[in-house]
Amino acid sequence: MEQQVGGTRGFLPAVEGMRACAAMGVVLTHVAFQTGTSGGVIGRLLHRFDLAVAVFFALSGFLLWRGHAAAARGLRHRPPTGHYLRSRLVRIMPGYLIAVVVILTLLPEANHASLTVWLANLTLTQVYVPLTLTAGLTQMWSLSVEVTFYLALPILAFLAYRLPVRARVPVIAAVALASLGWGLLPIHTAEGVNFLNWPPAYASWFAAGMLLAEWTVSPLGWPHALARNRLAITAVALVAYLISASPLAGPKDLVPATLAQFVVRTSMGAVVAWALLAPLVLDRPDDRHPWLGNRVMVTLGRWSYGLFVWHLAALVMVFPMVGTFMFNGDLIIVFILTTLLGYAMAAVSYALIESPCRNALRRWEYRRSARDRRKPPPLDSSVTDRPEPAVAH
């Protein structure tokens, strides 16, 4: 009997709530760093909230792969590539481009940016161009990585459809493990470019979600049993997080980690993300996870992209509001004010930019679909050999 909890169901409220938690985790780790809260055990634990990015990547892997996982088993049609690419473009770029223009123009720390910085940020190529991560936008390295995954996904799906169904999970897991050795490759980059910030280094984080997508349409097995054992799955997430916050995973400040430390942090990030998402998508259909799936968390999840985009600009504005300087200040007060201001900016962005653009795409695709349905069928070649007249699209 196949399990189809998350593979064929459209909207999963608890997953949207987890997206909100991940966004607030990103805010918390940046607030902890910029208020100077980095000492002792608490500092290490707060600093490692940057693994919220792993949750974001795993969410993308799950949500964007589950249609392909279901299609490979004949449960639905293959997701159309054109629609997928258009929806990703409209989901990400309008709000992002507005944020880049506003921040580079108005934020004092960033408004003297060079043309190279402008171009790299507008094209989401910051991780490939030296010294283009700039104030108010440094978090966008992860969006640059994520967009590369979006572009690669149709190719990955094309290759995966050529695998036997039973081979899909082992191959995805093998690619995830192999990606941990990315840093061993003899890649030489320009000064100011770190190839450990390139997409292959984080393939395990996307693969964590892709594996969950495969298991939602697979026969029940050990992943489902583990996901449904709340004590065990919580222990897995907690142990992996504590390892990631330990010296084994590198220093807690901006000192570069060794390759071995980077591998520990990255692998533990994949485990944490998998363990947090597994109960939400592999659990029984009647378990709705009411706290994560309530209306407030779903709304915050809907605005989470805007919070991610705007929160560093909000953080810069909060310090003058509380009358203090960076690397000094009350963590809790600055976090609360940054989150509130960031979500206010995110709500405006969603209402004025993100939602109208997505609705416009839906209307365009509806009209296009209706127009295609009205087209006459092609002439039967047995009746005539004349070529069908070209139809403008």
Q: What is the pLDDT of residue 253?
A: 66
Inter-residue contact 35 to 330 (CB < 8 Å): yes
Q: What is the pLDDT of residue 57?
A: 98
240/219 Cα distance (integer angstroms): 27
Inter-residue contact 161 to 214 (CB < 8 Å): no
Inter-residue contact 13 to 299 (CB < 8 Å): no
Question: Among 8, 20, 19, 43, which residue's Cα sits nearest to residue 247?
Answer: 43
Inter-residue contact 280 to 12 (CB < 8 Å): yes
Query: What are φ and ψ of residue 229, in 5° steps?
Result: -95, 95
- Give the torsion through C-alpha atoms of 107, 108, 113, 118, to 10 deg: 0
Q: What is the pLDDT of residue 9?
A: 60
Provide Rg for the chain, Cα atoms: 22
The three-class DSSP label of residue 3 is coil
Q: pLDDT of 209-247, one tens digit each?
A: 999 999 999 999 999 999 999 999 999 999 999 999 999
Q: What is the pLDDT of residue 8?
A: 53
Q: Could you list the mean pLDDT of each consecutive 10-residue stretch along the chain, which spans 393 residues?
A: 50 93 96 85 90 97 96 93 95 96 90 91 96 93 97 97 96 97 92 92 98 96 94 97 94 78 96 97 73 93 97 94 83 96 97 96 90 62 36 37
Query: What stretches of 78-139 show up as alpha helix (H) in DSSP?
Result: 81-106, 115-122
Look-up of token digits 């998508």: 281
Q: Which two tokens stand for residue 135?
A: 């104030």
Inter-residue contact 144 to 227 (CB < 8 Å): no
Q: Which two tokens stand for residue 129?
A: 């161009």
Question: Among 145, 308, 203, 327, which residue's Cα sits nearest to residue 253?
Answer: 327
Q: What is the pLDDT of residue 285?
A: 56
Question: Among 136, 137, 140, 133, which residue's Cα sits nearest to residue 108?
Answer: 136
